[in-house]
Chains A and B, each alone.
Chain A
Amino acid sequence: MIRNKHILLAFRFVVGGVFIWAGILKILDPLGFAQSIANYRIFPSALSFFLALVMPWLEVVCGAFLVFGIFRRASSFLFSGLLGAFLVLVAVTILRGIDVDCGCFGSLSQKVDYKLILTDSILLFFSLNIFFYRR
């Protein structure tokens, strides 16, 4: 685990910044995001709708908390959980052979593929380091 404060600060800015950016893009188009979730063909329609309304705000709120150092551990805990869930979802989607856009960055989203697993893993690594750091 990384203990260097400057590196951890950089991790916080990267993870927080990425999620704030991703969240804002999705807040601008909640229906588009609901459709992206529905395209994974895992969640029932009502749940896709609810997740699409709430999750982008969770990303922005948590991201802002992480950047400003408020509830640092709780925010990184939630991000670690989200990223872990994204990883499982991406892996399952690849295994099922479903060809979809990830929906991660609204209309700027990339395809669900192995590169996305790498991106999510790096962010998860950053997030876990923030979570386990004790002053």
Chain B
Amino acid sequence: MKPKKLFYQVVFILAFSSILGIVANFPLIEKYFKGEYRYSFLSLEKYSSITFITLAEAEELFARREALFIDSRSKEDFRASHIMEAKNIPFETHKERKDLNVPSLPLEGTLVVYCDGSECQSSVELAKRLHKMDFKDIRIFFSGWAEWVRKGLPISLENDKK
């Protein structure tokens, strides 16, 4: 087979697959251009109890003491420092377990889940698990720990509260 023919066939397959992918996923593409999936590829219809919040919203919930903050980072990171009064559910060590073992968390209350910052996804994964466990109001503070510290908001150091 001549390279030119191979090239045309490859281009045809790529174009054909792209068209199929775009047509089949048109509703998702529409949502993307309306601004969804910018934080994480999470279907907010499927996970109806989850919302994404900004630093300002997290700060307000914290100030009003209206939410319980949950830190999904590792035990070591949490021990070093965390948002004041947050609880630690280290997602990496909990993800294989069926039960997250969180009996003290209120099903109806507001939970704010966070991890390092926009690079990390463990807060999203933990929020999905909490949704499946029937928690009704889960907010993902996506810019997370990095932003909180940058703004100099209250933190706890080395106090092992869990």
Contact = CB atoms under 8 A, between A and B. Distances in A.
Interface of A: 27, 30-32, 34-35, 38-39, 41, 45, 48-49, 52-58, 60-62, 65, 71, 73-75, 77-78, 99
B105 interface: no
Interface string B9-35: 110111011101110110011001000
B121 A49 contact: no
Given A30-B25, A65-B13, A73-B1, A54 B18 contact: yes
A73 B13 contact: no
A32 B38 CA distance: 14
Interface stretch (B39-47, B52-60, B63-71, B140-148): B39-47
Interface of B: 1, 6, 9-10, 12-14, 16-18, 20-22, 24-25, 28-29, 32, 37-38, 40-43, 92, 119, 121, 124
Contact of A35 (B13, B17, B18, B41): B41
B6 A74 contact: yes
B17 to A, nearest CB: 4
Contacts of B13: 58, 61-62, 65, 71, 74-75, 78
Nearest to A35: B41
Contact of A53 (B6, B28, B38, B40): B28
